Chain A
């Protein structure tokens, strides 16, 4: 169970004239992320009519509000943060179960097939030279780790996951590619992620999943949400071709 940070660990800032940002220390850290997720959960459960959007990311929760309804944003923010920190132990237990933050409890891990064939993982050879490791070793390290989803953004459904093992971390390309194919799995520093749709992009691409991760038509639309745990597993190019659900969508 996660101990809540005390009130003075939190900072509240206004973001322009229509947003508020709650923040904890700027670290990519699973206990900080879990508390951002808890605060998000708490805010959602309040069903406040002036909240237009709640956007959790790493160490911040940003609230977009309706200026016409919420009058004193900062004093609202202070009050709701206090209420959040004061909620009973019952609530703590309840949310930390939903967090799957307990180590060793792996039943909620989302498993994603990835084909690491060099025809799809177009930067795998480059990375292998850069790291002086075989592609097999890189695949082994990439699939071994259980990643946490720290936030969703950049593209609809794009999940920023971490942390990538330091032995295979690699910076973005200096110049982004004009086109990265949907399903591509990439690395950028200590983060890994999947491109939900064809898009320009600078991440080092090491494989591709046959499984769509964003569906415009069906709720919840995105396969991942903040706090999810994800593990990749390697599949052959034959399995990829058989399972590939993206090809049908090409026009």
Chain B
């Protein structure tokens, strides 16, 4: 497959690059792991295989051979040779056909999985791009697989999509600096609505809403941050750290968004209002595992 025209920030992503944060290398990986896993699952691929992650305006792609693909996540109105195609279902594309994306309808990040395996260089055990982006003229070869296409329960698929694209609430677990927040800021955070800023990217999402403040002016010694960490900047804004986040941070760490809700934030356009909610570690893990176990069940059954 060939990139005819590059998108604004497209990359290849897998489940991430772990084991090197101690030397400052970010984990990277899918911004919306649920949509990425769905794309692979629908094609009968291992669920954490490498996929294309597209932001709008997205890349235009042509294919040298017949392939089977699946598009999930944001709806950018994908068309093949000018005819629109469906999401969340295997799509057969013939050699020489072209795939384009016309306009962003909902969501921010779209995934394309290819049935089989993408040949792309790996670095430190992962094919996730870090600072690089897909360029015009890039080509990728595919090792096709003949695994049967699994039957996916449509209701289950809808439930996951409703979860991803239903903005409220974004659930988080209070962080080390939670008790340093002014009481009025805690009230504002828990009661008022917020939105994502256009100043958001794979490193972090800026949040718009009531500015928050800390009691006094505490100074924090830098320590590790992680996916979903909510940092409070000195100007009262929250920035949520996403997949390409730096590994150490010195701002107030007021909470971490739970893993299962990160796809919701990742997909949220800046005209959508959302609320925050506090959740326990146990419930957060349970919510994550429930969905993940169903993925594994499909993986095992076919």
Contact = CB atoms under 8 A, between A and B. Distances in A.
Contacts of A154: 24, 246-248
A67 B259 contact: yes
Nearest to A52: B18
B284 A17 contact: yes
Interface string B240-275: 000000111100010111110000000000000000
A16 B288 contact: no
B259 A55 contact: no
B21 A55 contact: yes
B150 interface: no
Contact of A151 (B20, B25, B248, B259): B248
A15 B228 CA distance: 10
Contacts of B172: 16
Given A17-B284, A155-B246, A67 B24 contact: no
A53 B226 CA distance: 10
B223 A58 contact: yes
Contacts of A157: 23-24
B21 A53 contact: yes
Contacts of A68: 289, 292
Contacts of B224: 15, 19, 21, 55, 57, 60, 62, 153
A64 B256 CA distance: 13
A27 B221 contact: yes
Nearest to A44: B22
Given A17-B285, A60-B224, A53 B19 contact: yes
Contacts of A220: 23
Contact of A26 (B124, B221, B253): B221
A208 B175 CA distance: 38
Contact of A14 (B22, B248, B281): B281
A31 to B, nearest CB: 15
A18 B258 CA distance: 8
B25 to A, nearest CB: 5
Interface residues of B, number: 41
A216 interface: yes
A65 B66 CA distance: 40
A73 interface: yes
B43 to A, nearest CB: 22
B98 interface: no
A221 B226 contact: no
A80 interface: no
B203 to A, nearest CB: 12
Contacts of B258: 16-17
Interface string A202-228: 000000000000001000111001100
B156 interface: no
Given A64-B21, A154-B246, A16 B173 contact: yes
Given A17-B284, A62-B226, A153 B246 contact: yes
A58 B247 CA distance: 13
Contacts of B246: 153-155
A221 B23 contact: yes
Given A26-B220, A27-B221, 15 more contacts: A15-B224, A16-B173, A16-B281, A17-B259, A17-B288, A26-B221, A53-B19, A53-B22, A55-B224, A56-B22, A59-B221, A64-B21, A67-B289, A216-B123, A222-B24
Interface of B: 18-27, 123-124, 172-173, 175-176, 220-224, 226-229, 246-249, 253, 255-259, 281, 284-285, 288-289, 292
14 contacts: A15-B224, A16-B175, A16-B228, A16-B255, A17-B281, A55-B21, A62-B223, A64-B21, A64-B27, A67-B285, A152-B248, A154-B248, A155-B24, A220-B23
